[in-house]
Amino acid sequence: MIFIIIFSVIVLDQATKFIATKFLQLNTPVVFIKNFLNFTLVHNRGAAFGMFQNQLLMFVLISVFAVALIILSLRDKNNSFIFKISLSLILGGAIGNLIDRLRLGFVIDFLDFRVWPVFNLADSVITVAAILLTWELLFKKNVA
């Protein structure tokens, strides 16, 4: 189950980025839902919100370290189901963005809600999983 989640997130993330790259022009918004959602292809060479621009090696090293830690945590049989699902989603998203960094030197972003920096599916999955993981750690008992 964990492998299927990780694999699915990576495939969906890379597929949506491929479609965005194929059909969108760089930095040119396409209105999808007026005053709500645009598709805007962006090459993000930084972290969240474009911070720490052009620090590729740092991002790759941090990502590889995070991936290794998550894999170790997933192997722990004492962790709860929700904990493992959350980590699997985070791992899939992290690998999706790491693939971009290694292959292209930047992350492809394209979801543009106009009130938030442009992001991608991997970012969304990581955010939802982090919220789920936080909930699990704060409010559930017997979490390793």
DSSP letter for 52, please: S
C-alpha 86/C-alpha 115 separation (Å) is: 26
Distance CA 55, CA 46 (A): 7
Known active-site residue 109: yes
- Cβ–Cβ contacts within 10 Å for residue 8, how many? 14
Annotated catalytic residue within 13, 100, 109, 112? 109
Catalytic hit among 13, 100, 112, 123: 123
The answer to whether 13 is a known catalytic residue is no
Active-site positions read 109, 123
